[in-house]
Amino acid sequence: MSKQVDTILTGGTVVTMNEHYDIFTGGAIAIKDDAIVAVGPSEEIASLYEAEETVDCANQVIIPGLVNAHTHIPMTLFRGLNDDLRLDVWLGYLMPLEREFVTPEFVKLGARLACAEMIRSGITAFADMYYFEEAIAEETAAIGMRALLGQTVLVFPAPDAETYEDALVRCRRFIEGWNGHPLIQPAVAPHAWYTGTPEMDRACADLARAYDVPIHTHVSETQLEANNCRQQHHMDVVSWIGSHGLLETKLL
Ligand SMILES: [Zn+2]
């Protein structure tokens, strides 16, 4: 007897990420509630399952959701401002703009736009780092995407915190509010070595370890940054942040 499912996607080329990386030409997927219950050749799925809705996927490829591994999603609203500049010069323009305009409403609006664009591109999960991350979490969870969301910590005054100590308080509150959520993984996000201090890095590492959450940070984004770290600290960026305990965390 056939088992009842909600939806069957059938007749497409199904690319799996199972342990054999199977690809089924003329394959099908059976879905019930929010889970894939079976993947295989179309005839096999048709013989085992009955669905309320069957979608013909002929000439289509069905792939697992893509993961965007590094984002600042509300910055979609800054798109086009000062393009094509060196990162350090660009940040000189962007950081004052962020302090002026970034609010919980701003990040929610930007997050909504970014999530719509990501979904359109086949992305179902992303790793973010920004300000007012709790507002981004609310928006992301309501949309139904999965995300690792890092609350930014840096030594300069930020849109949501005057000091890094304030940022750490926000970050702890964010972790406590969202840890264990089925879609959202909260994280600590020390922005970069050059916007932090050894004390700040250590405090971030301590917080991440205390709640067993990941760290999301920038490491060696540019040649200039890598050179500066060697000049100032006589070691590469990975060694420098490692000397503050960041490598002993779940680091992204
Ligand atoms: Zn970044």
Q: What was the pLDDT predicted at 1?
A: 73
Q: What was the pLDDT predicted at 83?
A: 86
CATH of residue 9's domain is: 2.30.40.10
Asked if 153 and 38 sit in the same domain, the reply is no
pLDDT in tens, 101-156: 999 999 999 999 999 999 999 999 999 999 999 999 999 999 999 999 999 999 99
Please give the distance, rounded to the nearest whole angstrom, from the Cα atom of residue 207 to the centre of ligand 1.
21
CB atoms within 10 A of CB 181: 15
Asked if 119 and 139 sit in the same domain, the reply is yes
Please give the distance, rounded to the nearest whole angstrom, from the Cα atom of residue 114 to the centre of ligand 1.
15
Asked if 229 and 110 sit in the same domain, the reply is yes
Domain region containing 198: 66-248
pLDDT in tens, 40-91: 999 999 999 999 999 999 999 999 999 999 999 999 999 998 888 898 898 8
pLDDT in tens, 151-191: 999 999 999 999 999 999 999 999 999 999 999 999 999 99
Provide CB contacts within 8 A for 56, sequence distance 6+.
10, 11
Asked if 47 and 70 sit in the same domain, the reply is no
Q: What was the pLDDT predicted at 82?
A: 83
Asked if 99 and 171 sit in the same domain, the reply is yes
Three-state secondary-structure class, residue 229: helix
Q: What was the pLDDT predicted at 31?
A: 97
Please give the distance, rounded to the nearest whole angstrom, from the Cα atom of residue 138 to the centre of ligand 1.
21
Please give the distance, rounded to the nearest whole angstrom, from the Cα atom of residue 63 to the centre of ligand 1.
26
Indicate the pairing of strand 123-130 with strand 66-71.
Answer: parallel
Please give the distance, rounded to the nearest whole angstrom, from the Cα atom of residue 35 to the centre of ligand 1.
32
Give bridge partners of residue 192 from the DSSP assignment. Answer: 218
Asked if 16 and 102 sit in the same domain, the reply is no
| Arithmetic mean of pLDDT, 234-239 | 97
Cα distances (angstroms) measured from residue 87 to each of 60, 72, 84, 102, 225: 39, 15, 9, 20, 10
CA distance 14 to 27: 5
Please give the distance, rounded to the nearest whole angstrom, from the Cα atom of residue 126 to the centre of ligand 1.
12
Please give the distance, rounded to the nearest whole angstrom, from the Cα atom of residue 209 to the centre of ligand 1.
22
Asked if 132 and 182 sit in the same domain, the reply is yes
Q: Is residue 117 within 8 Å of 66, Cβ to Cβ?
A: no
Comparing 9 with 92, the larger pLDDT belongs to 9
Please give the distance, rounded to the nearest whole angstrom, from the Cα atom of residue 30 to the centre of ligand 1.
37
Please give the distance, rounded to the nearest whole angstrom, from the Cα atom of residue 215 to the centre of ligand 1.
13
| Arithmetic mean of pLDDT, 11-31 | 96
Please give the distance, rounded to the nearest whole angstrom, from the Cα atom of residue 131 to the centre of ligand 1.
12
How distant is the alpha carbon of residue 192 from its chain centre?
Answer: 17
Asked if 178 and 216 sit in the same domain, the reply is yes
Placement of tokens 């962020």 in the chain? 98
Please give the distance, rounded to the nearest whole angstrom, from the Cα atom of residue 40 to the centre of ligand 1.
38
Angle at 82 between CA 78 and CA 83, to 5 degrees: 95
For the chain, the domain total comes to 2
